[in-house]
Structure 1
Amino acid sequence: MLGLGAVAKKVFGTANDRKVKSLMRQVGAINAREDEVSALSDEALRGKTAEFRDRHAKGESLDDMLPEAFAVAREGARRALGMRPFDVQLVGGMVLHQGRISEMKTGEGKTLVATLPAYLNAIAGKGVHVVTVNDYLARRDAEWMSQVYGFLGLTTGVITPGMDDAARREAYACDITYATNNELGFDYLRDNMKFRLEDMTQRGHAFAIVDEVDSILIDEARTPLIISGPAEDSADTYRAVDALIPELSEEHYEVDEKQRSASLTEEGNEFIEQRLRAAGLLDGEGGLYDAENVSVVHHVNQAVRAHKLFSRDTHYITRGGKVIIIDEFTGRMMEGRRFGDGLHQALEAKEGVAIQPENVTLASITFQNLFRLYDKLSGMTGTAMTEADEFESIYGLEVVEIPTNVPVARVDEDDQVFRSGAEKGLALIEAIADAHRRGQPALVGTTSIEKSEQLSAMLGTPASLSKTAEVLRTFAAACKKKEQERKEYLEATAAHLEDLAKAGKGIPHAVLNARHHEQEAYIVAKAGKPGAVTIATNMAGRGTDIQLGGNVDMMARELATERGVTDEAGFQAIVAELTPLAEADKAVAREAGGLWVISTERHESRRIDNQLRGRSGRQGDPGRSSFYLALDDDLMRIFGSERMDKMLKTLGLQEGEAIVHPWVNKAIEKAQGKVEARNFDIRKNLLKFDDVMNDQRKAIFGQRREIMEARDVAETVRDMRHELVDDLVQEHIPPKAYADQWDAEGLYAKVLENFGKEAPVIAWAAEEGVDDEQIRERLHKMADEQMAQKAAAFGPDVLRQIEKSVLLQTIDHHWREHLVTLEHLRSVIGFRGYAQRDPLNEYKSEAFELFQALLGRLRRDVTRQLSYVQVVSPEEQEARREAERRMMEQAAASAAAQARPVQPAAAQPAMAGAGVGAAAPAGAPARPGLDPADPSTWGQVGRNEPCPCGSGQRYKNCHGKLT
């Protein structure tokens, strides 16, 4: 008997069905305008864009214009590309316009769908960003779809790596801009490190359409974007520690694959401590975990992770003397991206390549917070429903499943589970050989480069094929009479393998992984040809459809390159030559059953499996998908394969046989669900902590922008002066304290230190009837008069320029230091849980206190620098430069004599003056009365300034070193 919910679904449809049905009514309104719009001339159609903009400026909403604008965009696509969007594509476009996610199957034309909402929202003139997963797709889609936008009078830009700021600014100024998520994020961070508004490249975040939204907003969301600068070099320590790790035996460490962690056991700690002491890497007589050895512990932990958790050709590859990360979800190389916290350096030491210096964070943001900057966000992908809860809770994005234009004809078979990897390998070769024999194209999915190359070796070796054929003959001989069809199939497949082996050949195939990703589009273009075998690593051609018979356009491009054809007429001639051949091949491939997706194991995420499966059955084509698993696969092994192995033995499963049952599928999906839930928790936890920083980031970036936009920041600087005075007075003259409890001498010293001016504070404090408020007012007046004198000396315009420059530079300096402090706090805050305190609340509380301290230091340093700024004549400026050069030469000679590495002091940039020479902080590089041998004469030295002793090192690494 059907339940109430099932009855309601049969009568009213699912919630998704009802959403689609309501949008289909809008489709009717769009179609009703088709005749009217198609009757317009090209010029009149283009003129519609200006008309829409005029109507919008007068108050008409984009929603009201949607039916007509979509009709115009559809007609533009038809005339510019010869492609008329289907009704379901119009529905997908409306979902995007509403700020939701369109889940559309592979081959349903998502690239074209994006043009509809992009055109409509570009009418507002605020810019539309179309976000892609890689640079190739950004360039391809921009070039392809700009024909539609250009035909309708809109401009199109594309952001690619290596562009200068001027080109980026021009691209962002276009109506529609294509870019990758990484480029958008880094441009946002770089913009907020600029010193002038006109140097910024982006012009806001109005509307974004994210292609492959699940990949960008979920798979990549665990790793924040970071702009970093070099820190001190510790390559020798990484190498020294790395040399000790191979000496560890199994009782010395523990690996938790579920939690992706590796750590030393008690025996391991004792062993590594002895080896470190013998190698001279431990300071003092203390143990490994004493405070002075905290850096060594960090190196050891990262080296253990590098050796025991990370595998070459699975998590990274080495190419050109570099360690390059492989994206675990797409299998693509992530050029320019590095593991943080010293892990990448540990991997470089492990692989024996050059160790790049560690970096300190200059700016960072997570993808979650980057894309939440947009006023309206939308996305499209073929696989989003499994993560609908996460999209809703993190981004407020609702997922709508768009029906296919033609029903899906693909057959999805139940998983086949074998007891061992060897049995599974045999079954894989059998299946691939069968497909190749019958002329059916096969796409074989693997989870790592290593496994793709192992399979490639098995397929390409005649000896391997002969061995497989022998086993298949054995299986065929064991078939019973009622299994005649199975016997014939095994014998035919074995004969095919024997023929290939005798000819000294393997099964022809192409390998698509991070090593060959440059040829991705061309490999995928041929993957639908009859009998083609394509081995893909987690990257089944995202963005490039596998078309039965082959992709004529891509094959024509490759052939044109081979023949040296560059003109359009020559290219079209090649297209005409290939089209009938591709049509004939398509008929053969369809007759053989369409594209057969063969997966060699299940991925941690169901979405990745669905992406692979979704490559088959495009636009109503026939297709088939099969998953081959073994109990020693990573997912099966980690999640309870022992119980299943016992069960299979009990059932009497024979060698070469597989268990096939829907219950097995459900059990595997449950295991995948556990992994997905854990990854969701990781991302959610990352976001909770980043939200704390994000509030502070918004405050700092907002303050910077206000400063750049303001013509005059004198009022801001005055407020900082007054607040610093208030802080000093409150510190030395506490409220409600008696006069004999005042620290007038201390206040005098602090005023002199911070304002560079002697104030008669001690005399004021001795006056009868003077209170703290009066002293505060007198100091306010003194500080204001001091700056008024500087304004008179410099000229108001020059001083305003100096104030703005000092303010921005000081904010950036302290923000960078604050980010490093927050990173360190974040790395240890989890230990508060052992004291029954919530780490997140503790982090919020301490981060707030650190931010308040940052603002205090900001007020102090801005006031101090402006108080010490002096007018310097060109002659004095040259003398100072000469003195600085002599000081650096002496420091280098001193350091060389002591055989210590030299870090040259950073020259301070001179601030431009207008006709009055240059302005520089008084006392740079030498303060009056400074004695390099007497630290008491040095005054307040910044931690990153050259040490006044003349060593050539930064103060924090020399006399300012924390002990």
Structure 2
Amino acid sequence: MVNFGGIARALFGSSNERRVRRFDPTVRAIGALEEQLSRLTDDELRARTERFKQELKDGKTVDDILVEAFATVREGAKRALGMRHFDVQLIGGMVLNAGSIAEMKTGEGKTLVATLATYLNALEGKGVHVVTVNDYLASRDAEWMGRLYRFLGLSVGIIGHGLSDQQRRDAYNCDITYATNNELGFDYLRDNMKYERAQMVQRGHHYAIVDEVDSILVDEARTPLIISGPLDDRSEFYQTIDAFIPQLSAEDYEVDEKQRQVSFTEDGTEKLERLLEAAGHLNGSSLYDIENVAVVHHVNNALKAHKLFAKDKDYIVRGDEIVIIDEFTGRMMPGRRYSEGLHQALEAKEHVTIQPENQTLASITFQNYFRMYKKLSGMTGTANTEAAEFADIYGLDVVEIPTNVPVQRIDEDDEVYRTFEEKFRAIAREVKEAASRGQPVLVGTTSIEKSEMLADRLRKEGLKDFQVLNARYHEQEAYIVAQAGVPGAVTIATNMAGRGTDIKLGGNLEMRVERELADVPEGEERQRRIAEIDADIKRLKEQALAAGGLYVLATERHESRRIDNQLRGRSGRQGDPGRSKFFLSLQDDLMRIFGSERMDTMLTRLGLKEDEAIVHPWINKALEKAQKKVEARNFDIRKNLLKYDDVMNDQRRVIFDQRIEIMDAEGLEETIEDMRNETVDAMVARHIPERAYPEQWATQELHDEAIELLNLDLPIVEWAAEEGIDDADIRERIRAAADAAAKEKTERFGPQVATYIQRSVVLQTLDALWRDHLVNLDHLRSVVGFRGYAQRDPLNEYKSEAFELFQSMITQLRERVTSQLSRVEIQRPAPAQPPLPVMEAHHVDPTTGEDEFGHGAERLTADFNPIEEERFLVDPENPETWGQIGRNEPCPCGSGKKFKHCHGAFATQEA
């Protein structure tokens, strides 16, 4: 068969190549301005910024001024940063400006590329958000690239941990704002819990550039950002349920490794029902009766904790707590907890202190947060494998940007062995051989357990000079990664996703200076020592180059090709030579799940001997097909979760928009009157049915409800006894009485105070009902899947019932607001602002494993001040009061050194 697609690609290039070529005329146009701009003074170059702003106000678009603006940024970067944008970087900037994802290899200068689209879009004056995966990168990039922006006359702000609302507001009001995805999301949620518009910090969602876009919009998008408050302690109940699971046998449950699900069999359900009934936790005769929904939820969590989650792979026990291990980076994530009671089930399983569950006060997924931006773009080294997801969820295209220098890395075919043991023996031999010739080796593993197994194997083989980098030793991580390019260095690391530190052949100058010269003050001696380190690194780089560059040796394929590509991409940086190879066995998870038994039988028949490997391009293709299946399934799971979240998101937007309208309104009399009238109408309709005879009216109940909801003791029973009266007359009389009482109260309070009270009552009542509504939606979500057994679509069922719950919430809002306003009296001067509920945020940066909010569970209430809060008082002489400290933060002991060079270094040595 003739491959017409292959012939077309050979003649005309791939669709990506054709798309990139379309940018060539623009690149040439930008280059043509370079000599002209080089003759301008700094002030003349800076003046172009104001000219561009005026042109945009006069009706031009950003695309109209792109060529001149990009040329200005390129010239500004040469003067402010000593860097010049390559032509391929200009293409990357155009892709970002077009609202697409620029896929650029490691070391190709994504940070500099972003300055082009950032500057151009910031000229509109509506704010540009540059989103990074951690605080360190946000502050580093803002300082580094901020020199360019300020040189060209634009303001730059940073949103980091520990800022006050005013500092955040000032940063968001800058032309360009650097922030982490977590900070942006939490600020949005907190803004929509404020009681005054002036207290909100964000000013809109105009344009965002997301760095490491695959990490943030795919990996991080698996779970929502949640602001929560504590619920009652139920630790005894968790322990009771946990004790049942070890009593089950293998016939009582079924485990599906492909779907990562576990469920009870019919026999298991019956056995569990007997155990629950004996313990007094079963209502009725069946576990699946509607009143046992909460029990089913907890029982399923306990089963998951025992049968799906493995200690030292999915989590570790550290002290008296369960610490999650991120499946992509293999590092600890202190402070992050599984939601919906799963973390408590793990705590019960490992017999550590069970922390109380939290109630969701507000939440949003990254998908729905970032889709609010009018224009969105991103950049990363690995996005193409998730192109379908980016297009479907976010409407983002992926464009591969050519490298400035061709990639010289050699990607070898996988070696497949029959057993773990054979594979590890082969890896040990390969590592020893590479290290002996002075080639730096980076060994990638998929879990802590496997990295330590390999470390033990290397020790047995006599190789002792290597570094193990995983979640247990993340304090030393940045330095270990930085030195992984030194000749002969052997670094064993769990998955290398988004480590944030370049592996440079010969070593990293910045890291060595920071570590070796931490105590050397600025001056001639420091400069001399820096020059010595620089010369040493250049010498070591030559040795590493001669040995073949960085050798990336992977011990297993990940479920996602993107993670494999991230590991491979560590080698061959900026045209350096390099090599990568994957060593696999039929006992690996991916191979075992996808039919390795047939392959094992075939290899035995072929006479494959022990320690022999099969190497063939077909194996690579077969594995990639298996990975594609897993990726497609994971995408379907995320897409299905998003469909459910979209239902809540539509309701969230209604509520948040309503809050802003209430805060912006000068007066709320009409809104309050409508609520009151609708409450009266509903009251009368409940107790005086249409076309009912007067003797059928429930007038006493209507009287009682008028007292409850309107605080009015009206002669409704007497009214009903009047000749010829109907329901409309009674409705009008109640309305008139309620209106008169409201008017009297407004006149007594004064219009300004009355409006303040009305706004406070409406907002606080709306927030309280919204929180309860979120809990109801969570419960509905956890049980609606069972509707599938009745041949009903769970998503449609969820949509219709969520709508009914929302309608019920609106009815309650009208009644509660009406009731509270009818009873409110002024007993003391009104406070400046109603107090916010106690709020906590748990979210950890997946690339560093450090809590991005410092204290693990930061109080997010507006008036929170860590210095004044007793439990966060820091005693310089008592490390127990210091809490979680970032490696690069000042040491709390007051030495003036960074934590990692002071007490952080001691902690590492002790570990």
Q: Same fold (TM over 0.5)?
A: yes
Distance 1:569 1:608 in 2: 45
Of 642, 645, 654 in structure 1, the residue corresponding to residue 600 of structure 2 is: 645
Where does the alignment leave 5 or more consecutive residues of structure 1 unmatched?
A: 466-500, 878-963
Equivalent residues in 2 for 1:842-861, closer than 5 Å: 842-861=797-816
The offset of 1:303, in angstroms, is 1.8
Equivalent residues in 2 for 1:888-927, closer than 5 Å: none
Distance 2:17 2:288 in 1: 60
**Which residue of the partner structure matches residue 80 of structure 2?**
80
Pick which of 31-40 and 332-341 moved more: 332-341
User: Secondary structure of 1:811's match?
Assistant: helix
The offset of 1:17, in angstroms, is 1.6
Alpha-carbon contact 1:793-1:871 (below 8 Å) kept: no
TM-score computed with the length of structure 2 as normaliser: 0.88
- In 2 relative to 1, CA 828–540 (structure 1 residues): closer, same or farther, beyond 3 Å? closer
Equivalent residues in 2 for 1:91-240, closer than 5 Å: 91-240=91-240
Amino acid across the alignment from 1:160? G
User: Secondary structure of 1:62's match?
Assistant: coil
Identity of aligned residues (%): 63
Which string of whole-angstrom CA distances, capped at 9 and with x for unpartnered residues, describes residues 695-747 of structure 1?
A: 10000000011111223222211111111112222223334445454433332
**Which residue of the partner structure matches residue 416 of structure 1?**
415
Amino acid across the alignment from 1:795? G
- In 2 relative to 1, CA 734–81 (structure 1 residues): closer, same or farther, beyond 3 Å? same
The offset of 1:144, in angstroms, is 2.1
Of 760, 765, 782 in structure 1, the residue corresponding to residue 715 of structure 2 is: 760
Amino acid across the alignment from 2:314? H
The offset of 1:872, in angstroms, is 3.4
The offset of 1:666, in angstroms, is 1.2
- In 2 relative to 1, CA 567–52 (structure 1 residues): closer, same or farther, beyond 3 Å? farther
Distance 1:570 1:772 in 2: 95
Of 705, 721, 725 in structure 2, the residue corresponding to residue 750 of structure 1 is: 705
Of 483, 494, 501 in structure 2, the residue corresponding to residue 526 of structure 1 is: 483
Distance 2:226 2:523 in 1: 43
User: Secondary structure of 2:432's match?
Assistant: helix
Of 494, 501, 522 in structure 2, the residue corresponding to residue 544 of structure 1 is: 501
**Which residue of the partner structure matches residue 670 of structure 1?**
625
Which string of whole-angstrom CA distances, capped at 9 and with x for unpartnered residues, describes residues 265-293 of structure 1?
A: 34434544555566x45357856555665
Which string of whole-angstrom CA distances, capped at 9 and with x for unpartnered residues, describes residues 28-76 of structure 1?
A: 1111111122222223323322332232222222111111111121222
- Is 1:427 matched with 2:426? yes
Alpha-carbon contact 1:433-1:507 (below 8 Å) kept: no
Distance 1:724 1:420 in 2: 72
- In 2 relative to 1, CA 435–652 (structure 1 residues): closer, same or farther, beyond 3 Å? same
Distance 2:390 2:828 in 1: 61
Alpha-carbon contact 1:107-1:619 (below 8 Å) kept: yes
Which string of whole-angstrom CA distances, capped at 9 and with x for unpartnered residues, describes residues 226-264 of structure 1?
A: 111111101122233334433444333322111112233
Distance 2:286 2:803 in 1: 34
Amino acid across the alignment from 1:730? A
Alpha-carbon contact 1:222-1:682 (below 8 Å) kept: no
Amino acid across the alignment from 1:405? N
- In 2 relative to 1, CA 714–83 (structure 1 residues): closer, same or farther, beyond 3 Å? same
- Is 1:635 matched with 2:628? no
Alpha-carbon contact 2:554-2:582 (below 8 Å) kept: yes
The offset of 1:748, in angstroms, is 2.4
User: Secondary structure of 1:632's match?
Assistant: coil
The offset of 1:612, in angstroms, is 0.6
- Is 1:795 matched with 2:750? yes
**Which residue of the partner structure matches residue 565 of structure 1?**
520
Matched length: 830
**Which residue of the partner structure matches residue 834 of structure 2?**
none
Larger Rg: 1
Distance 1:609 1:570 in 2: 44
Which string of whole-angstrom CA distances, capped at 9 and with x for unpartnered residues, describes residues 168-187 of structure 1?
A: 22322222222222221112
**Which residue of the partner structure matches residue 251 of structure 2?**
251
Pick which of 596-605 and 42-51 moved more: 42-51
Amino acid across the alignment from 2:625? K
The offset of 1:2, in angstroms, is 4.7
Which string of whole-angstrom CA distances, capped at 9 and with x for unpartnered residues, describes residues 311-356 of structure 1?
A: 2222123335322222212223333321111110111222332221
User: Secondary structure of 1:534's match?
Assistant: strand
Alpha-carbon contact 2:126-2:206 (below 8 Å) kept: yes
**Which residue of the partner structure matches residue 324 of structure 1?**
323
User: Secondary structure of 2:65's match?
Assistant: helix
Equivalent residues in 2 for 1:279-358, closer than 5 Å: 280=279, 282=281, 286=285, 288-289=287-288, 294-358=293-357
Alpha-carbon contact 1:444-1:598 (below 8 Å) kept: yes
Amino acid across the alignment from 1:76? G
Distance 1:531 1:723 in 2: 78
User: Secondary structure of 1:63's match?
Assistant: coil
Distance 1:85 1:801 in 2: 55
Distance 1:83 1:705 in 2: 45
Amino acid across the alignment from 1:447? T
Amino acid across the alignment from 1:685? N
Alpha-carbon contact 1:80-1:147 (below 8 Å) kept: yes
User: Secondary structure of 1:387's match?
Assistant: helix
Alpha-carbon contact 1:444-1:600 (below 8 Å) kept: yes
**Which residue of the partner structure matches residue 554 of structure 1?**
511
Distance 1:321 1:179 in 2: 33
Which string of whole-angstrom CA distances, capped at 9 and with x for unpartnered residues, describes residues 505-535 of structure 1?
A: x342222222233333222211111111111
Distance 1:228 1:548 in 2: 46
**Greater RCO (Cα-Cα under 8 Å, separation 6 or more):** 2
Amino acid across the alignment from 1:818? H
**Which residue of the partner structure matches residue 407 of structure 1?**
406
Amino acid across the alignment from 1:346? A
Pick which of 551-560 and 671-680 moved more: 551-560
Amino acid across the alignment from 2:345? A
Distance 1:847 1:690 in 2: 11
User: Secondary structure of 1:114's match?
Assistant: helix
Distance 1:365 1:739 in 2: 51
Pick which of 354-363 and 263-272 moved more: 263-272
The offset of 1:373, in angstroms, is 0.8
TM-score computed with the length of structure 1 as normaliser: 0.83
- RMSD over equivalenced CA pairs, Å: 2.2
Alpha-carbon contact 2:679-2:814 (below 8 Å) kept: yes
Pick which of 108-117 and 72-81 moved more: 72-81
Distance 2:505 2:267 in 1: 59
Alpha-carbon contact 1:326-1:334 (below 8 Å) kept: yes
Pick which of 762-771 and 165-174 moved more: 762-771
Alpha-carbon contact 1:546-1:615 (below 8 Å) kept: yes
**Which residue of the partner structure matches residue 595 of structure 1?**
550
Equivalent residues in 2 for 1:430-445, closer than 5 Å: 430-445=429-444
Distance 1:127 1:301 in 2: 46
- In 2 relative to 1, CA 30–429 (structure 1 residues): closer, same or farther, beyond 3 Å? same
Which string of whole-angstrom CA distances, capped at 9 and with x for unpartnered residues, describes residues 753-806 of structure 1?
A: 210102333344444444433433333222221111111221221111111000
The offset of 1:873, in angstroms, is 7.0
The offset of 1:860, in angstroms, is 0.2
- In 2 relative to 1, CA 589–237 (structure 1 residues): closer, same or farther, beyond 3 Å? same
**Which residue of the partner structure matches residue 717 of structure 1?**
672
Pick which of 574-583 and 199-208 moved more: 574-583
Alpha-carbon contact 2:215-2:498 (below 8 Å) kept: no
**Which residue of the partner structure matches residue 690 of structure 1?**
645
Distance 1:158 1:566 in 2: 28
Amino acid across the alignment from 2:82? G
Distance 2:210 2:275 in 1: 51
Where does the alignment leave 5 or more consecutive residues of structure 2 unmatched?
A: 832-911
User: Secondary structure of 1:380's match?
Assistant: strand
The offset of 1:592, in angstroms, is 1.0
Amino acid across the alignment from 1:629? L
Distance 2:456 2:497 in 1: 20
User: Secondary structure of 1:64's match?
Assistant: coil
- Is 1:821 matched with 2:821? no
Amino acid across the alignment from 2:475? E
User: Secondary structure of 1:317's match?
Assistant: strand
